[in-house]
Amino acid sequence: MLVSRNQDAELKRPKVERAAEWIEESGLPTRVTSIDGLVPSDTTTTALSECDVIFGCVDNVVARHAINKIACAYLIPYFDLGVAIKSNRNGGDIRHAVSRCHYLQPDRPCLLDREAYSSERLAEESYRQDDPEFHKNLKELGYTQERNEIQAVMTLTMQAAVMAVDDLMARLHGYRVDSNRNFDEQEHSFTHTHYEHRAHAGDNFALRNFVAAGDRHVRM
């Protein structure tokens, strides 16, 4: 994490604890509620359901899918940040490195509709978390999707954060020349040196049963 110190790493302090401490040290009037917990859980679901806007900076599909459900159920705008870094099959050189930002509204296409991840990958990660033994059996039988990815680096994650905050400011203040509808997804490629933005037309299909459902379906 950007503001972590050697002593924080040595003490294995949670990121949320150090981030809250750093914000308090800044002297700004920002109020922080830090929660050291998994998404989804009762505690994190309750906290997220009370937000006006959600920025998702998580690194697994299960959590991204859960946040998207919560945002749909409680009608909350959701900025989903992500990076992808892939190396060559045999390791070594990076062949693909991008930062992405999705802007999601409850009635518009969700992450699953946009193929930000597949239902197969979502199921695989769910098994890995909830039933490790079953996941191990799937892997031994060759039913898991092995991905040749390396860990994200700070430059990409910071770029994703910048895109998300800039997107929010543009939507609040209306200074874009192009319509905001054309910025449902943004992508900045470090390997191919290009920036793209695109719209995602249509309705929320995959999570349509969660839209405006509130507490009825989301308590996971």
Give 118-143 pLDDT, tens digit per residue: 998 898 887 577 666 754 665 555 55
Paired residues of 98 in beta bridges: 84, 189
* pLDDT at residue 146, as a whole number: 53
Per-residue pLDDT at 69: 96
pLDDT of amino acid 142: 58
Low-confidence ranges of the chain (pLDDT < 70): 89-92, 127, 130-132, 134-152, 217-220
Q: Are 150 and 86 in contact (CB under 8 A)?
A: yes
Decide: residue 185, CB within 10 A, 0-12 exposed, 13-18 middle, 19+ buried.
buried
| Per-residue pLDDT, 90 | 65
- Side-chain half-sphere of 109: how many Cα atoms within 13 Å? 16
Q: pLDDT at position 2, please?
A: 79
Among 113, 99, 73, 205, smallest CA distance to 155 is for 99
Map out the domains of the chain with their CATH numbers.
1-36 (no CATH), 40-218 (3.40.50)
Question: In this structure, how many other beta carbons lie within 10 angstroms of the beta carbon of residue 199?
Answer: 15
Buried b (16+ CB within 10 A) or exposed e, 207-220: beebbebeeeebee
Percent of the chain with pLDDT over 90: 70
Report CA dihedral (86, 67, 48, 108) to the nearest 10 degrees.
Answer: 120
Instruction: Give the DSSP H or E segment for 129.
Output: helix 119-130
Q: What is the DSSP letter of 111?
A: T
What pTM, to 2 d.p., does this model score? Answer: 0.87
Q: What is the largest CA-CA distance in the chain?
A: 55
Task: Mention every residue, 6+ apart, whose C-beta is less than 8 A from residue 127.
Answer: 134, 135, 138
